[in-house]
Amino acid sequence: MRKRLASITVAGLIAGVAVVVAQAPASAAPKAPSGDLQAGIKRQLAAGIQVVPKQSAAGKLAASSTANPWTALLPDPGKVDKYYWSERAKAASASRAQQKLAQNKGLAAANPIIHDEAEPKGTNGANDTPATAELIKGFGTGKKLNNKVRVLGQLDPDALPTPSTVSPATEDDGSIPLSFEFNLGTSRGAYATTASIGDGPHGTAGDGTGDFDFSKVHARAGQQITAATSGDLDTVAALYDASGVLVAADDDSGPGFSSLLTYTFPDSGDYFLMISGYGLGTVLPADPFDSGSGLGAGKEGPYGITVSLAFPDLDYYAVDLVAGDVLGGSVTGVSPTLIVRDPAGKVVFGSEQDASFIYAPASPLPGGGNAVVSYVAPRDGRYTIQPGGVSGAYDLTLEAYRPGPEALEQGTTQTLYLDFDGARVNTAIFGGPGVRQLSPLQGFLGRWGLTAADEDKVINQVIATVRENILTDAKERGTDPRIGLKILNSRDDPDPFGQPNVHRIVVGGTIAESGVDTIGIAQFIDPGNYATEDTALVLLDVLSDRTGAASLNTYITPASNKIKFIGRALGNVISHEAGHLYGSFHTDPLNATPNLMDAGGAFPGLFGVGPDNIGGTADDFDYDFGDDELTPDEGFIGTEDTLNTTAWALVKGKAK
């Protein structure tokens, strides 16, 4: 949940400016920053660095004020404490892994295949591309195959000397032109040094615009830089190219609040490593060529840093999957990342974290590693898996399963029940306070200028939208030939929730009623749909506010077909939450590709509003599931096929 390089629109965050002042040492209060602090906040969010205060690394984490960002459709993702959720994911995912081990004790299960890396230890170059990936034979979901494999491998990059201890840089080194050169070399090398944020002319003892430490790196294409900070200072690391473009950033990937930035250079040339102290909108200079272009001082103090430059060892393994196979992977050891590529070599899921606690308890997918991935294969083919790291041994677990509904009787169909009548819900499953009564859809119609007489028309449009989004599109464009879904609702059908294979989405209630600060939230993200009786919420207070980017009223004018717009917008949000229950993660709300799984902040796009910025007019857009980039804000990379992930979660029981 740390790396992010894209443009972003941010509103409502300037109220936190005082946080920056509070972060500076009490003995030297910073001067008032000049320049556009909102622009600094935007830059910081675009680099994947949070702009809300972090919880202390000491002691137990208190409950977060925001809902789980992986499963929630948040009005403003910029307000997420990423540090909290990263630490929460580590602890909760490790606990889940231990529970799975305990549950599986004594159960008869096939021993996994043991695959030792064929590339001799101490060498590289043999399996360094998808084309030369080592094929794991005998792995798969077929009757004569083993669906589990344990891969034992070693990453052996260019041998590095012991980091040489070098003298700290001299100030002012706060920009690209003033960067200090540690003679890292153009082939390989490593150094360690100490430095301090705040000791330059722009720290709190100077003009207070913020101290940045820049150093120059001469790199060749294909080389990898690793920069690791240490000490008590909450650092931020960033990497710029020679033209001043930010190409990588990291906040808390190291222990505690330390930074750990790893980047493989695509082109030869000079690059510039920057270290700064964490703050609100102040971690990056407005102009990397001007050492005085900061927007205020953040954290200050001493830190240590070790930097290395070498050609990495890349290890690839190939597995044969068939359409609908659900692949799970977990890696331990020196590997902090895990990447899955499709048969064409495209990255389809990459992770730098273990967020497996968001899987349903019934999911068999593995977790408990440094990095965990899940992927539903949309078609037959040879897929590749790449553990990534610097140097040393790793232990990779891969498991493949058929979708959960294929274990049910032939013809069994998942039911999606839309509850518009309000409901008693145990919101503790979403991190809320417990059993709460949620008000019905009818109570919100007046907030959109509708009456009770309009409810049936709104519900009709909602149902039509959900059917088109999930069932019609998957039948027309998906690869699952046996997809099925019953869509029932509280107006027309008896409440089936609690019966087998019934998912429920409650459409109603407010943040205050539920105790969950979100627009929508799903109980789990469940690739393969192994838990077929779960709940999601679509709360209606934010959606019916008078103003705000996430309010439908913002896009309603006399030109709007109000009922069509409100019904379609609600149907899209409902489909988004259903997509989580069927295994899809959030996609990037900031790129040019619209997707029903776009993360919060994609408003008004997710509502289907067209270029005229008015809902319910002729240019409204039909949002769908399909191929789109995962949102890197949540620690993932790759292009997710949300259409087929959904389709294969809804396969109708056993095949003939």
Summarize pLDDT for 417-447 with one digit per residue, the tens. 999 999 999 999 999 999 999 999 999 999 9
Question: How large is the average pLDDT for residues 123-134?
Answer: 93
412 and 393 in a single domain? The answer is: no
- Measuring CA to CA, which residue among 67, 22, 127, 176 is closest to residue 538? 67
Q: What is the pLDDT of residue 35?
A: 53
pLDDT surpassing 90 at residue 582: yes
What number of residues does the chain have?
656
Question: Which residue shows structure tokens 């599931």?
Answer: 625
pLDDT value, residue 389: 87
Average pLDDT value over all residues in the chain = 90
What pLDDT is stored for residue 414 in this prediction? 98
Structure tokens at 573: 């949000």
Whole-number Å distance between alpha carbons of 577 and 629? 18
Domain boundary residue, one of 280, 310, 340? 310
Average pLDDT on 403-409 reads 96
Indicate the SS3 state at residue 302.
Answer: strand
For residue 591, pLDDT beyond 70? yes
Judged against a pLDDT cut of 50, whether residue 404 lies above it is answered with yes
pLDDT of residue 64: 62
What b/e sequence results for 481-503 when a residue is b if at least 16 CB atoms lie within 10 Å of its CB, and e otherwise? ebbbbebbbbeeeeeebeeebbb
pLDDT above 90: percentage of residues in the chain: 78
% of residues, the chain, pLDDT over 70: 92
Mean pLDDT score, 599-622: 94
Q: Mean pLDDT lowest for which of 121-125, 169-173, 358-362, 538-542?
A: 121-125
Cβ pair 480, 650 in contact under 8 A:
yes
Provide the 3-class DSSP secondary structure of residue 182. coil
pLDDT at position 56 is: 57
Residue 588 counted as domain residue: yes
For residue 28, the model assigns a pLDDT of: 35
Q: How far is it, in rounded angstroms, from Cα 476 to Cα 473? A: 5
The rounded distance, in Å, linking the Cα atoms of 280 and 19 is: 7
| Confidence category of residue 188, pLDDT binned at 50, 70, 90 | low
Q: Are 570 and 608 in contact (CB under 8 A)?
A: no
- Say if residue 132 is in the same domain as residue 266: no
List pLDDT tens digits, range 306-365.
Answer: 999 989 999 999 999 999 999 999 999 999 999 999 999 999 999 999 999 999 999 999
Structure tokens at 473: 């599109």
Task: Read off φ and ψ for residue 27, nearest 5 degrees.
Answer: -75, -10
Residue 16 lies in a domain: no
Does residue 448 fall inside a structural domain?
yes
| Residue 34, pLDDT above cutoff 60 | no
Q: Is the same domain home to 584 and 445?
A: yes
In contact, 482 and 513? CB cutoff 8 Å:
no
From residue 540, how far is each of 4, 337, 448, 545 by CA, in Å?
A: 30, 38, 11, 9
Structural domain includes residue 211 = yes
| pLDDT score of 9 more than 90 | no
For 73, 297, 486, 505, the CA distances from 467, given in Å and listed in that order, are 20, 52, 9, 14
Q: What local confidence, expressed as pLDDT, does residue 17 receive?
A: 25
Mean per-residue pLDDT for 191-219?
95
The Cβ of residue 167 has, within 10 Å, a number of other Cβ atoms equal to: 9
pLDDT at residue 32 tops 50: no
Q: What are the residues facing 326 on neighbouring strands?
A: 376, 401
Q: Choose one of 380, 402, 424: the last residue of a domain.
A: 402
Please tell me whether residue 128 adopts helix, strand or coil conformation. Answer: coil
To which residue do tokens 């965050």 refer?
13
Q: Which CATH number belongs to the domain containing residue 375 in this structure?
A: 2.60.120.380
Q: Which of 536, 562, 376 is nearest to 466 (CA)?
A: 536
Would you state the pLDDT for residue 224?
92
Q: Which residue has the higher pLDDT, 186 or 136?
A: 136
Strand 180-181 versus strand 213-219 pairing type: parallel
Half-sphere CA count of 386, side-chain side, radius 13 A? 26
Q: Which region holds residue 132: left if phi is over 0, alpha if psi is between -120 and 50, else beta? A: alpha
Task: Mark 12-44 as b/e (b = at least 16 C-beta within 10 Å).
Answer: ebeebbeebbebbeeeeebeebebebeebbbbb
Q: 289, 310, 331: which is the final residue of a domain?
A: 310
Q: How many Å apart are CA 223 and CA 217, to the nearest integer?
A: 11
Please indicate, yes or no, whether residues 478 and 580 belong to a single structural domain of this protein. yes
Residue 188 lies in a domain: yes
Distance CA 193, CA 48 (A): 26
Strand, coil or helix: 60: coil
pLDDT of 451: 97
Q: Are residues 245 and 367 part of one domain?
A: no
Instruction: Quote the CA–CA distance of 516 and 510 in Å, as a whole number.
Output: 8
Counts of helices then strands in the chain (DSSP H, E): 8, 31
Q: Note the pLDDT of residue 48.
A: 85
Do 561 and 430 sit in the same domain of this protein? yes
CA–CA–CA angle 54, 57, 58 (5° rounding): 130
pLDDT, mean of residues 296-310: 94
- 431: its two tokens: 């991190």
558 and 422 together in one domain: yes
Distance (Å, rounded) from C-alpha 635 to C-alpha 639?
13
Q: For residues 503 and 536, is the Cβ–Cβ distance under 8 A?
A: yes
Are 397 and 496 in the same domain? no
Q: Domain for residue 25, yes or no?
A: no
Residue 163 confidence (pLDDT): 86
Domain boundaries, position 136: 110-156+316-402
Tens-place pLDDT, residues 477-516: 999 999 999 999 999 999 999 999 999 999 999 999 999 9
Distance, CA of 30 to CA of 169 (rounded, Å): 23
Residue 114: how many other CB atoms lie within 10 Å: 9
Q: Domain for residue 30, yes or no?
A: no
At residue 374, the pLDDT reads 98
Written as six digits, the tokens of 211 are 């101290």
Indicate whether 196 and 139 sit together in one domain. no
Q: What is the pLDDT of residue 27?
A: 31
Q: How far apart are CA 17 and CA 235, in angstroms?
A: 19
Nearest to 44 by CA among 355, 298, 300, 393: 298
> Can you tell me the distance from the alpha carbon of 347 to that of 385, in angstroms, rounded to the nearest whole number?
10
Q: pLDDT at position 187, please?
A: 56
What is the predicted pLDDT for the residue at 596? 97
Q: Residues 299, 325: one domain?
A: no
Mean pLDDT across 454-473: 98
Half-sphere exposure of 456 (CA within 13 A, CB side): 2
Q: 11-15, 234-238, 343-347: lowest mean pLDDT where?
A: 11-15
How far, rounded to the nearest angstrom, does the alpha carbon of residue 579 sit from its chain's CA centroid?
A: 15
In a domain, 7, yes or no: no
Find the mean pLDDT for residues 544-562.
97
172 lies in the same domain as 243: yes
Please give the tally of structural domains in the chain: 3
Residues 384 and 458 in one domain: no
Q: Which is it for the CA torsion 594, 600, 602, 603, positive or negative?
A: positive
Which has the minimum average pLDDT: 2-6, 206-210, 593-597?
2-6
